Amino acid sequence: MESYWLCEDCLHALAYDDFSTLSLYYSEAEVDQRIAQIHEAVQALLPLSADFDPDTGLGIDPFSTHPCEGCHSPLHGTRHRFTRL
């Protein structure tokens, strides 16, 4: 099985279909572009299953310097592991 490390934006898009936090970091035009980019990237990886445990931290990298394997964002930050079914 293939595993992918996804950023917080991809996590919220995949798990909750929620893009509300993007407006904190991007302009209105950039938000629409970013939503399309994330949606396309996540759809290409489906079907995915969460492979992390928030209680133990297993499958969570609290600060990664690697790009997101979903949307390919180069921004550093938390990554969560997902496994393709």
How far apart CA 73 and CA 41 sit, in angstroms, is: 11
Query: What is the residue extent of each domain of the chain?
Result: 3-84
Mean pLDDT across 65-82 = 95
Q: How confident is the model at residue 55 (pLDDT cuts 50, 70, 90)?
A: very high
How far apart CA 40 and CA 59 sit, in angstroms, is: 24
Rg (CA), the chain: 12
pLDDT digit string (tens) for 5-53?
999 999 999 888 899 888 888 898 899 999 999 999 989 999 999 999 9
How far apart CA 52 and CA 80 sit, in angstroms, is: 6
Residue type, 14: L
